[in-house]
Amino acid sequence: MNRYNSLIGLLILFFSCNFCFSQSSEELWLSYSQPLNNKLKETYTSKIKHIQIKTFSETGEIIKTELQMLATKMLDTSISFTSTTPQIIIAKIDNLDSKFKQKINSQSLVNNESFIIQTITVHQKDLLIITGKTDISLLYGTYCFIKQLQLHKDISSISITDSPKIQLRILNHWDNLDGTVERGYAGFSIWDWHLLPGFKKEIYYEYARANASIGINGTVLNNVNSNAYILTSPYLQKVKTLADIFRPYGIKVYLTARFSAPIELGKLPTADPLNEEVIQWWKSKISEIYKEIPDFGGFLIKANSEGQPGPNTYGRSHVEGANMLATLLEPYQGVVMWRAFVYSEQQSEDRAKQAFNEFAPFDGAFKENVLVQVKNGPIDFQPREPYHPLFGAMPKTSLMMEFQITQEYLGQGSHLVFLPKLYEEVLSTDTYAKGKGSTIAKIIDGELYQDHRITGMAGVANIGTETNWTGHPFAQANWYGFGRQAWDPTTSAESIAKEWLSMTFTTDSLFIQQMTPLLINSREAVVNYMTPLGLHHIMNAEHHYGPGPWIANMSRPDWNSIYYHRADSLGLGFDRTQTGSNALEQYPKEIQEQFSNIHTIPEAYLLWFYHVPWDFKMKNGHTLWYTMAWYYQQGVNEVKNMQQTWEHMQPYVNNDIYQDTRMLLEIQYSEAQWWRNACLLYFQQFAKMPLPEFIPEIPHTLDYYKALKFPYAPGIHPSWN
């Protein structure tokens, strides 16, 4: 935006809005404080004055409070909740008067969370109905209605029917019982285990409210690298308090169970899943949990990976481990989410192949209430990975997606990266599992395999005790976007960006027009300045922050950068074709055909699958070396563009957010340069070619970058410090 536009923008805002900068970052996308012009304000006010809520549950109270909050904050008015001549009726379909019910297509309420928002005409007057089968569906319908107002939509003849496409929409908290958060960059855990069960902090309600507003219906409270103590009776009391708070918001509580808990808590000599005493121990533990929390969701398990205990320790398989717990949870409708992220103790020929090799042969063997939870890519939440080959390879198993919302490998707390763009790329990828168009979205939402029992999507949370919840103000968008895509995995990143920006800041079109591309492009920017062309895992090995292509760990050569990028005098990249590890073989033939030719593989995955000569001629006619340098520079330039756009956004956001984001973008810009400089200097030793002319002079030597140390790196598992 040029200065002239920004001036016009300011004037428009000044004259047309009830203008105040009360956007509050604590209230996320629910502050109801965006500027609203007087005309719209009057229209909305006149339409929501009298509302009848025909449900007397706690959820009904939440609906009431939310609507009242909207009226007060957005419209400076209050709502009268009345049964005489209401303009809006919020009622379960079974409680609607038959004269209203017959005007509504209740067939479209396909599940217990679906809702309908519809304007009907009664005695020549408009009446707005929000209905569904359950209280929770009414809550979802209400949030959707509120969103229409936040987006300044015309609500005069509104007609919306919606339902979640995925059943389990879950946050995974990697929160430790000592209050730290593994890979968390937004402060400490919001669960105050010390003060629970007695002390019900306001933040628990706010957390539930925010999640309900985007349809998240489950939360795993503790880290996948788990501590068995969460399963002790005193801790279960604490968990119960949280479950009771979350229930009226439609959110179930789940726990990560440590597979060796029968040893640690039950003092048994083994945790062998086929041992009778072990089974009995779990049986009575599960019964204890359900006595306290009758709608407990179930267990998440990280087994035999990165030192976590599991069935393999006892010569048993993942299936034997998962099914033992699933059998015991079945009477209570509980589920097991068994993670496929397995990094075994033994060194593997190619880490990217391990999960597929361990899990694909078990297709069809897991019980119906087991979901296998698979990360989006075969390595580990990199800025870009090819999709995980298990998607499409286990048609008889409920596969659940695991995305990371916290930005472990993507600049952590300081880089602005809009992740729905990454999620969209993964979800829309074609696996060809049942012919063309077999996208990952269709696998995880069950469309492709109709007989699928349970569908799910998990996101590793980015929430902490920071006042704005997520540290970076724009990281809120990733939480929001995850919820939207878990609700409907075909939701576009662009529509999410627009919604989030409008709901959080302002619907002003000048703002939205400039900020939407900023968000959308931010994902490609991080790929470019960190790991272009299919490079991966070249971060510092422990805290995963900053470049570390030189990192070597000779005791575990498969856990370091050198292993992944394989730079040598001949070229760069990991040969995963037939001449190398042949990980490509794990993908369907359509992908193999395209990827097994170095000239037809998408360049975005080139170095993931090939060891490419430095002077290889790329599609742009330049060498690999030149092109790689071009991408690194492009990433830096993109961050510069983000800074320039942001400079003009001051009129639209409150000053704190403006200044914080400005400072963060400065950090991001200097770190994008750090990545470019360090990686290019390191790889140049092998390429032995000059830096292209567009790379500015690098002020330091490689040794300088190698010597940079962080005295404190947040978010690491305490035992790894």
Residues that are catalytic: 306, 380, 408
Nearer to ligand GCU, 373 or 668 (CB): 373
Nearer to ligand GCU, 116 or 181 (CB): 181
Nearer to ligand GCU, 131 or 404 (CB): 404
In angstroms, what is the minimal distance from the CB of 414 to ligand GCU? 18
Cα 589 to Cα 593: distance, rounded to the nearest angstrom: 6
Of 562, 529, 535, 534, whose CA–CA distance to 548 is shortest? 562
DSSP per-residue string spanning 520-538:
HHHHHHHHHHHSGGG----
Nearer to ligand GCU, 113 or 182 (CB): 182
Cα 91 to Cα 51: distance, rounded to the nearest angstrom: 11
| Touching ligand GCU, residues 652-711 (CB under 6 A) | none
Percent helix / strand / coil, the chain, rounded to 5: 45, 10, 45
**∠ CA 148-149-151, rounded to 5°:** 65
In angstroms, what is the minimal distance from the CB of 179 to ligand GCU? 17
In angstroms, what is the minimal distance from the CB of 545 to ligand GCU? 11
Cα 272 to Cα 49: distance, rounded to the nearest angstrom: 62
| 266 contacts: CB under 8 Å, gap ≥ 6 | 277, 278, 281
Q: Which of 113, 135, 162, 182 binds ligand GCU (CB under 6 A)?
A: 182
CB 502 within 8 A of CB 612: no
Binding of residue 225 to ligand GCU (CB under 6 A): yes
Nearer to ligand GCU, 247 or 375 (CB): 375
| Peptide bond between residue 197 and the one before it cis (omega within 30 degrees of 0) | yes
In angstroms, what is the minimal distance from the CB of 358 to ligand GCU? 15
Binding of residue 482 to ligand GCU (CB under 6 A): no
| 123 contacts: CB under 8 Å, gap ≥ 6 | none
Binding of residue 318 to ligand GCU (CB under 6 A): no
State whether residue 278 is helix, strand or coil.
helix
How many other CB atoms are found less than 10 A from the CB of residue 424?
22
| 188 contacts: CB under 8 Å, gap ≥ 6 | 179, 180, 181, 464, 465
Cα 170 to Cα 168: distance, rounded to the nearest angstrom: 6
CB 511 within 8 A of CB 501: yes
In angstroms, what is the minimal distance from the CB of 716 to ligand GCU? 8
Q: Which of 165, 169, 183, 452 binds ligand GCU (CB under 6 A)?
A: 183
Looking at this protein, which amino acid is placed at residue 239?
V
Kindly write out the interface string for residues 396-415 of this chain, putting x where it contacts ligand GCU by CB under 6 A and - elsewhere: ------------x-------
Count Cβ neighbours within 10 Å for each residue of 655-673 and write b for 16 or more, e otherwise: eebbebbeebbeebbebbb
In angstroms, what is the minimal distance from the CB of 573 to ligand GCU? 22
Across the chain, how many H-helices and E-strands are there?
22, 16
Residue with tokens 């430790």: 176
| Touching ligand GCU, residues 113-152 (CB under 6 A) | none
Nearer to ligand GCU, 179 or 588 (CB): 179
Nearer to ligand GCU, 90 or 458 (CB): 458
In angstroms, what is the minimal distance from the CB of 307 to ligand GCU? 10
Binding of residue 353 to ligand GCU (CB under 6 A): no
Number of residues this chain uses to bind ligand GCU (CB under 6 A):
10
Cα 4 to Cα 23: distance, rounded to the nearest angstrom: 25
| Touching ligand GCU, residues 517-556 (CB under 6 A) | none
Nearer to ligand GCU, 62 or 168 (CB): 168
Residue with tokens 């007087």: 38
**Sign of the alpha-carbon torsion through 66, 68, 73, 75:** positive
In angstroms, what is the minimal distance from the CB of 712 to ligand GCU? 17
Q: For residues 287, 320, 267 and 227, what is the CA-based torsion angle, rounded to 10 degrees?
A: -80
Q: Which of 51, 170, 224, 530 binds ligand GCU (CB under 6 A)?
A: 224
In angstroms, what is the minimal distance from the CB of 302 to ligand GCU? 5
Residue 90: which H helix or E strand, with range?
A: strand 88-92
Binding of residue 302 to ligand GCU (CB under 6 A): yes
In angstroms, what is the minimal distance from the CB of 379 to ligand GCU? 9
- Helix extents (H) in 181-303: 202-213, 233-246, 261-264, 276-292
Nearer to ligand GCU, 183 or 353 (CB): 183
Cα 480 to Cα 489: distance, rounded to the nearest angstrom: 13
In angstroms, what is the minimal distance from the CB of 409 to ligand GCU? 8
| Touching ligand GCU, residues 361-380 (CB under 6 A) | 380
Cα 545 to Cα 523: distance, rounded to the nearest angstrom: 17
How many other CB atoms are found less than 10 A from the CB of residue 125?
9
In angstroms, what is the minimal distance from the CB of 413 to ligand GCU? 15
CB 278 within 8 A of CB 268: yes
Residue with tokens 């319908």: 141
Nearer to ligand GCU, 408 or 424 (CB): 408
Cα 4 to Cα 315: distance, rounded to the nearest angstrom: 71
Nearer to ligand GCU, 306 or 488 (CB): 306
Residue with tokens 């069935």: 311
Nearer to ligand GCU, 141 or 546 (CB): 546
Cα 167 to Cα 453: distance, rounded to the nearest angstrom: 10
Q: Which of 341, 449, 505, 545 binds ligand GCU (CB under 6 A)?
A: 341
Structure tokens at 413: 């707390």
Cα 665 to Cα 671: distance, rounded to the nearest angstrom: 10
**Sign of the alpha-carbon torsion through 479, 483, 489, 495:** negative
Structure tokens at 106: 């209740």
Nearer to ligand GCU, 150 or 406 (CB): 406
In angstroms, what is the minimal distance from the CB of 182 to ligand GCU? 5
Cα 207 to Cα 319: distance, rounded to the nearest angstrom: 34
CB 658 within 8 A of CB 650: yes
Cα 153 to Cα 499: distance, rounded to the nearest angstrom: 12
Residues within the interface to ligand GCU (CB under 6 A): 182-183, 224-225, 302, 306, 341, 380, 408, 717
